Amino acid sequence: MSEPTPEALFGAFIERIEALDLDGACALVTDDVEYDNVPIGKSFGPDGIKAVLGPMLGPIEEVRFEVLRQVAVGPLVMNERVDRFRAGERWLELPVAGVFEVTGGKISLWRDFFDMRSFEEQLQGLFG
């Protein structure tokens, strides 16, 4: 069986995050994956992803990643998207530019660029 394309792998990864299946999403990354939320910093490995996303997703009831534009070249997938997180009746909507790299059929780099101030203000409004 052949490996999925980087674009298909990214799609499967995002579907699992949208299903709030962090363990399933992390099954699609390398053991040493670099997860870089540029304004926040880097973490490494599936446990690093879980340490960052786990507390945030805990109170979240729904996640949607709307990809607006995407390009895939070789092992790279780059996209412009809006990441949406719902808690109760409120939504946090964050414009994001993302870079993903695939090595050996798994995601080895996940780097997101977003405006930290907008994120913090919306996060406070979501839970505050």
Predicted confidence (pLDDT) per residue in 107-116, tens digit = 999 999 999 9
> How much of the chain, in percent, has pLDDT values that exceed 90?
84
- Cβ–Cβ < 8 Å for 36, 111: yes
Please state whether the predicted TM-score (pTM) of the whole model is above 0.85: yes
Q: What one-character DSSP code corresponds to residue 61?
A: -
CA distances from 30 to 7, 27, 71, 106 (A): 16, 8, 22, 6
Q: What one-character DSSP code corresponds to residue 85?
A: E
Domain boundaries, the chain: 6-127
Query: Of the listed 21, 31, 47, 112, which one is catalytic?
Result: 112
**47 flagged as catalytic:** no
Range 46-67 average pLDDT: 94
Q: Which stretches of 1-127 are assigned E, i.e. beta strand?
A: 29-37, 41-44, 62-73, 76-87, 90-103, 106-113
Q: What is the pLDDT of residue 1?
A: 64
Which CATH architecture does the domain made up of 6-127 adopt? Roll (3.10)
**21 flagged as catalytic:** no
Query: Of the listed 31, 32, 36, 83, which one is catalytic?
Result: 83
